[in-house]
Structure 1
């Protein structure tokens, strides 16, 4: 395969916003569930990943998998985003996601060059927090 043919098969790079309620920021694709997020993460290169923790309930009233569940899957499957931001308002969930990601970097479970931020990349119109 020559370079021209290779370029035709490059995987598209996207920004991914994982949240069950918030509006999707401009320039992002939205995943409302962990399952949707995994489909994006295994089909595209992810530049920026922005995570909520609490992802609501399913149609039967059961809690859906959380952003923390997604973080564990990212670690288990060595999925990648260049930058990961945590936009959740759940302080315990934020800490669980943040410190799990930092530990995974330290122990080389995920790529060491992934940037991890313990705050949102976009303003949250549903709270006073940035």
Structure 2
């Protein structure tokens, strides 16, 4: 699995609010120090919380993290009706272990963005 495939799986999961897409994750990789099943459990809980809050789908936009992980890719997910930011994830390929397992950063970004250009700060 490469980083683009990983991003596609996460994008599909959150735009459809369906964690079954996560079954495609590589079971021999680690995602922010979690195995496949730990990541699925974490995201399954988030999907359930989003559905409970009344969302049935989200829009995805390419994004960036300017604070914690400036070299990572990011996807932001927005309410389709209001364009309000709902959740944002960062992704980064961290290489391989000595055993050949891939390591990825897959983390929710909890920083609240500010309007572009405000104080020249990204968050």
Normalising by structure 1, report the TM-score.
0.26
Q: Which is richer in strand?
A: 2
